Structure formats: C-alpha cells, structure tokens
Amino acid sequence: MAKVQYEIRVAFESEADSVAEFLNNYFYGWSPLTEISGNANGSKSDILLPSVTLKNSTIVKEGLSIIAVSDTGEIIGASINETLNSEPVSSIYEIALLVSTVNDVMNEKRKAKKEMLSGILVVHPDWRGNGIAGALLSQAIELAKEKKFDQIRCHCTNAYSARVYEKCGFEYIHSIRYEDYKIDDKVVFKPRSPHTHIHGMALRLDN
Ligand SMILES: CC(C)(COP(=O)(O)OP(=O)(O)OC[C@H]1O[C@@H](n2cnc3c(N)ncnc32)[C@H](O)[C@@H]1OP(=O)(O)O)[C@@H](O)C(=O)NCCC(=O)NCCS
C-alpha cells in the first residue's frame, strides 16, 4: 500500500468553522451513538442543531484541537479538545445523561487540578485504519503537556477509539455496558458490534 501523506498540527483559529463542518459531516451520524440507524433520536438533523456547530467552532478557537490535513489541503481527521471546566454536554439528552453518569464517577475516582477533555476523535471514513487517530491523539498529548495540564480525560463510545486511547497510555476508570444502561427499564443504545461500552478513560501527565 502507498504511504499515506498527511500533516498533523494544531487547528488555527481561522479554521474553526471548517473543522466544525468536518465534524458535522464525519462525526455526527458516524460515531456509534449517533449513527443514523441506531441513534437515540433517529435522524442526523436532530443532532445537527446550529448551536452544536457554533459550540464546536468555539472549542476549536481555544487552540487545543489538533487536525490531520491531507497533501491536497483537505481536513481528514480531528482531535477536538478543551479545558474541562463544567459538565460535559451533548445535544442529545440520552447521550448527555450517559456521559455525565460516567463523568461523575471519574470525578470521584480520578479528578485532577487542571484537566483537558478529549471530546471528539474522528477520522474521515476514506482514511480510517491508517493510524491517523493515534497520530492525532499523540500530538494532543504533547500539546496538553506543553500547556501544563495534569490529566486528559475522555468518554469513549467507540471500541476502535478505545484501542487508540489505550495504546497512548490511557487507563480505564469507569465503563458502562450499553446493554445494561436503561432508562424507564428500556435499553437506550444498541450500537453495532464491536461497540459494547462507553469507557471513561484518563491519562495522567507528568509536568
Ligand atoms: C475511531 C476512529 C477515530 C479511529 O480512527 P482510525 O484512524 O481509523 O484509527 P486507527 O487506524 O488508529 O485504528 C485504531 C484501531 O482500531 C482498529 N480499527 C479501526 N477501524 C476498524 C474497522 N473498521 N474494523 C476493524 N478494526 C478497526 C485498527 O485496526 C486499530 O487497532 P490496532 O491498533 O489493534 O490495529 C474512526 O473510526 C472514526 O472516526 N470513527 C467515527 C467517529 C467515532 O466514533 N469517534 C470516537 C468517538 S469516542
């Protein structure tokens, strides 16, 4: 296979809207819990509220997000990161609830003083399976060290990205099986195999 050519770097403030659009196209509707066929609300248009695009664009402007850019200048991957300072939110109520359940346990078990949230990790479908997610995350870790964060946490919903976080040294702090997660006695999420759990994971950084 030909060697894939891409650059990994911090997303510029001026690229915030393009990165948010990339997420609209390749994260929402693609991640296990937002996949069109199995998401909580049933359609991509429910997820893509204008406020979501605006929020992601604002997060990118914080300067902690990393992107992969192809040799033709196209965004092909993103690690969207922000300072963890409040409850993690999602535009979908059921996902927000699940994430905050995991997050609460992480706060009890592994809270650190200054934390970065690795909120989204995504690679363009045509470029997956080439190690780009790992390259994005490695650079995000270096940036977090540079910015003197004590820890990075993530709420990982995808079995493939869990492997990527694990390979980069993240530990599993709290996991919930989707088939055990019920609201009003009903299983809420039924993502495709092999996505069986949401994992709260964390990496301590030595500063
Ligand atoms: C998860 C995601 C970011 C991985 O990106 P990627 O660049 O393809 O990741 P990698 O190439 O580093 O692969 C990661 C691991 O998953 C495996 N993998 C990835 N896609 C796979 C597939 N379709 N089938 C089987 N294994 C797969 C890889 O083999 C690798 O495992 P290994 O290290 O044991 O070889 C990408 O699939 C994606 O964007 N998914 C949709 C968005 C999403 O769900 N993000 C995560 C939310 S927490």
Q: State how far the Cα of 166 lies from the Cα of 92, in Å rounded to an integer.
A: 27
The confidence score (pLDDT) of residue 43 equals 59
C-beta of 161 in contact with ligand 1 (< 6 A): yes
- Supply φ then ψ for residue 41, to 5 degrees: -100, -20
Residue minimizing CA distance to atom 8 of ligand 1: 128
The confidence score (pLDDT) of residue 207 equals 67
Q: Is 136 helix (H, G, I), strand (E, B) or coil?
A: helix
User: Cα(185) to centroid of ligand 1, in Å?
Assistant: 32
C-beta of 50 in contact with ligand 1 (< 6 A): no
Task: Spell out the domain ranges in the chain.
Answer: 6-204
The confidence score (pLDDT) of residue 90 equals 72
The residue with greater pLDDT, 147 or 91, is 147
The confidence score (pLDDT) of residue 52 equals 86
C-beta of 73 in contact with ligand 1 (< 6 A): no
Question: Mean per-residue pLDDT for 22-36?
Answer: 87
| pLDDT tens profile 97-145 | 899 999 999 999 999 999 999 999 999 999 999 999 999 999 999 999 9
The residue with greater pLDDT, 1 or 4, is 4
Q: State how far the Cα of 56 lies from the Cα of 119, in Å rounded to an integer.
A: 10
The residue with greater pLDDT, 96 or 70, is 70
Residue minimizing CA distance to atom 41 of ligand 1: 31
Q: Is pLDDT at 38 greater than 60 in this prediction?
A: no
Residue minimizing CA distance to atom 9 of ligand 1: 133
Q: Which CATH architecture has domain 6-204?
A: 3-Layer(aba) Sandwich (3.40)
The residue with greater pLDDT, 133 or 1, is 133
User: Cα(129) to centroid of ligand 1, in Å?
Assistant: 6
Token pair for 166:
């694990």
Query: How does residue 2 score in pLDDT terms, banded at 50, 70 and 90?
Result: low
Rg of the chain (C-alpha set): 16
User: Cα(27) to centroid of ligand 1, in Å?
Assistant: 13
Contact 127, 77 (CB under 8 A): yes
Query: How does residue 51 score in pLDDT terms, banded at 50, 70 and 90?
Result: confident
Atom of ligand 1 nearest to the CA of 124: 39
The confidence score (pLDDT) of residue 89 equals 67
Query: How does residue 94 score in pLDDT terms, banded at 50, 70 and 90?
Result: confident
Contact 153, 107 (CB under 8 A): no
Q: Strand 197-204 to strand 171-177: parallel, antiparallel, or no bridges (unpaired)?
A: antiparallel
Q: What is the mean pLDDT of the chain?
A: 91
Contact 59, 80 (CB under 8 A): yes
Residue entry with tokens 């248009």: 45
C-beta of 40 in contact with ligand 1 (< 6 A): no
| pLDDT tens profile 178-205 | 999 998 999 999 999 999 999 999 999 9
The confidence score (pLDDT) of residue 48 equals 72
Residues 6+ apart with CB under 8 A from 73: none
Q: State how far the Cα of 24 lies from the Cα of 22, in Å rounded to an integer.
A: 5
Q: Is pLDDT at 175 greater than 90 in this prediction?
A: yes
The confidence score (pLDDT) of residue 36 equals 61
Q: Is pLDDT at 162 greater than 80 in this prediction?
A: yes
User: Cα(135) to centroid of ligand 1, in Å?
Assistant: 12
